[in-house]
């Protein structure tokens, strides 16, 4: 195949590390040194006049600090340079309006991470069907869980290789996130059918053709019972803590156990999302979703003291359910997976898709009887069915009638027809 039919793709892969107590302590020390170095750079940047701020000056101060402060030596030199480059890039992102200003990194609220900028230092080898070995600077060779074929050994070349990695710690332990560069064939245009998708709570992903995607609980009954016991235990121990007193080791241990269970549920949810979105991208050529403003949907209904809100508890429960479904992450996965398989992801305006009947095209008050049931109150129609399925049909119809959101000049422009006609037979 010619080079014109090839494209370069960059993506990441995260794997779990298997560390001894000594190895984990070494990486912890590197992460704390990287965080302290960031804070030192932030203080230096704040105290330096604007006319004297430069990457060269910051680099000189960083090198001098590594010579003067002994415990900075636990951090590899390349990882220290990565901290400097990341900090300068954070300011560039702020100046260009892509992010807020860099801030101080607190010890207990900042995720622990160490960057490995160069992939050639990793020396990755697969030793078993399930395990691989990787060389970590100033730590040694450690095992990691092999769940994906990586471009190492004879499979690695200038266009297919690992360009670097990052060590990240969460409640489940240390993980390594590889940065992978690969050259793949440009996919042919997907000739599959069109489908509209409505993200909901009763039906997680409702498809316009009725191929709905469901999932169960992310924790088993025993795990849910254990999580409830841990939350109750934490509440009791917190009640005995005096104001201003530090968190006890027992209370912190309880928090950690509950966090590990929630992290396990999140990983199971992400696994379901990956498998479901991959199947959708493989089957359908055009996927249509709503342009949801999730931040506005989960605003609190508490109100103010002068004007208190109504149904605050119900709205809080709905907000938690929306956050738990992670609709934005699903759309992100569909975006890059549809492109990878040659498909198209389109977005349509969200207002009215849940209240309008997909059979007659009219919006009649009282048709949305509940979260799961839609019954058209229009005289002469009377269509009834799942409310999420009805919304998915409307989403696909909006795309077919030219209501897709088209990016132009950095913003979304809506192509609107004069009126919405009833959908054709499907």
Q: How far apart are CA 304 and CA 165, in angstroms?
A: 47
Distance CA 277, CA 213 (A): 10
Token pair recorded at residue 158: 């200038």
Contact 148, 112 (CB under 8 A): no
Q: Can you give the pLDDT at residue 160?
A: 87
Distance CA 104, CA 109 (A): 11
Residues in the chain with pLDDT values less than 50? 1-2, 407-426
Could you give phi then psi for residue 178, rounded to 5 degrees? Answer: -80, 140
Backbone angles phi, psi at 16, to 5 degrees: -85, 135
282 dihedral zone (left: phi>0; alpha: psi -120 to 50; beta): alpha
Rounded Cα distance between 229 and 233, Å, is: 6
Q: Which two tokens stand for residue 139?
A: 């730590």
Q: Which of 282, 377, 271, 372 is nearest to 326 (CA)?
A: 271
pLDDT recorded at residue 21: 93
Token pair of 219 as six digits: 């924790």
Contact 286, 196 (CB under 8 A): no
> What pLDDT is stored for residue 311 in this prediction?
67
Q: Is 140 left (phi over 0), alpha (psi -120 to 50) or beta?
A: left
Which pLDDT does position 49 carry in this prediction? 83
Q: Which residue from 161, 67, 169 is spatially nearest to 121, judged by alpha carbons? A: 161
Are the C-beta atoms of residues 242 and 251 closer than 8 Å to each other?
no
Q: How far apart are CA 40 and CA 31, in angstroms?
A: 14
Secondary structure E strands in 227-305:
286-291
Residue 25: count other Cβ atoms within 10 Å of its Cβ: 12
Q: What is the pLDDT of residue 305?
A: 64
The three-class DSSP label of residue 175 is strand
Distance, in Å, from the CA atom of 80 to the CA atom of 43, rounded to the nearest integer, reads 16
Going from the C-alpha of 393 to that of each of 211, 353, 365, 384, 410, the distances in angstroms are: 12, 9, 19, 13, 29
Q: Which two tokens stand for residue 270?
A: 């992400």
Closest CA to 36 of 26, 28, 24: 28
């Amino acid at each position: 195949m010619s080079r014109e039919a090839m494209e370069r793709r960059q993506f990441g892969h995260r794997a779990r590390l298997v560390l001894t107590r000594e190895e984990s302590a070494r990486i912890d020390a590197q992460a704390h040194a990287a965080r302290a170095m960031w804070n030192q750079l932030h203080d230096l940047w704040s105290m330096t006049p604007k006319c004297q701020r430069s990457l060269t000056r910051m680099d000189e101060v960083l090198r001098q600090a590594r010579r003067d402060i002994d415990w900075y030596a636990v951090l590899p030199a390349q990882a220290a340079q990565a901290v400097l480059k990341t900090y300068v890039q954070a300011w560039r992102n702020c100046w260009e309006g892509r992010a807020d200003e860099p801030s101080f990194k607190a010890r207990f609220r900042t995720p622990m991470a160490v960057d490995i900028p160069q992939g050639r230092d990793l020396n990755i080898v697969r030793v078993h069907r399930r395990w691989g070995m990787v060389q970590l600077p100033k730590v040694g060779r450690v095992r990691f869980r092999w769940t994906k074929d990586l471009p190492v050994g004879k499979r690695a070349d200038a266009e297919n290789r690992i360009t670097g990695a990052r060590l990240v710690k969460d409640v489940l332990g240390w993980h390594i996130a590889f940065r992978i560069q690969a050259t793949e064939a440009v996919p042919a245009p997907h000739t599959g059918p069109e489908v509209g998708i409505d993200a909901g709570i009763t039906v997680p992903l409702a498809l316009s053709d009725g191929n709905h995607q469901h999932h169960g609980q992310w924790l088993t009954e025993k795990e849910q019972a254990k999580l409830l016991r841990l939350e109750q235990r934490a509440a009791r121990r917190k009640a005995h803590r005096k104001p201003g007193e530090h968190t006890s080791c027992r209370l912190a241990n309880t928090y950690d156990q509950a966090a590990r269970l929630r992290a396990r549920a999140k990983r199971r949810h992400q696994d379901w999302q990956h498998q479901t979105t991959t199947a959708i991208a493989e089957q359908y050529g055009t996927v249509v979703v709503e342009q949801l403003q999730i931040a506005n949907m989960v605003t609190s209904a508490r109100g103010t003291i002068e004007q208190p809100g109504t149904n605050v508890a119900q709205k809080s429960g709905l907000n938690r359910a929306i956050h738990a479904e992670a609709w934005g992450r699903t759309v992100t996965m569909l975006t890059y997976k549809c492109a990878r398989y040659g498909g198209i992801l389109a977005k349509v305006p969200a207002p009215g898709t849940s209240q309008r009947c997909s059979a007659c095209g009219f919006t009649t008050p009282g048709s949305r009887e509940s979260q799961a049931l839609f019954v058209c109150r229009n005289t002469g129609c009377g269509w009834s069915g799942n409310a999420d399925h009805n919304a998915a049909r409307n989403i696909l119809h909006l795309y077919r009638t030219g209501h897709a959101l088209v990016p132009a000049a950095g913003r979304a422009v809506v192509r609107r027809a004069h009126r919405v006609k009833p959908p054709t037979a499907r």
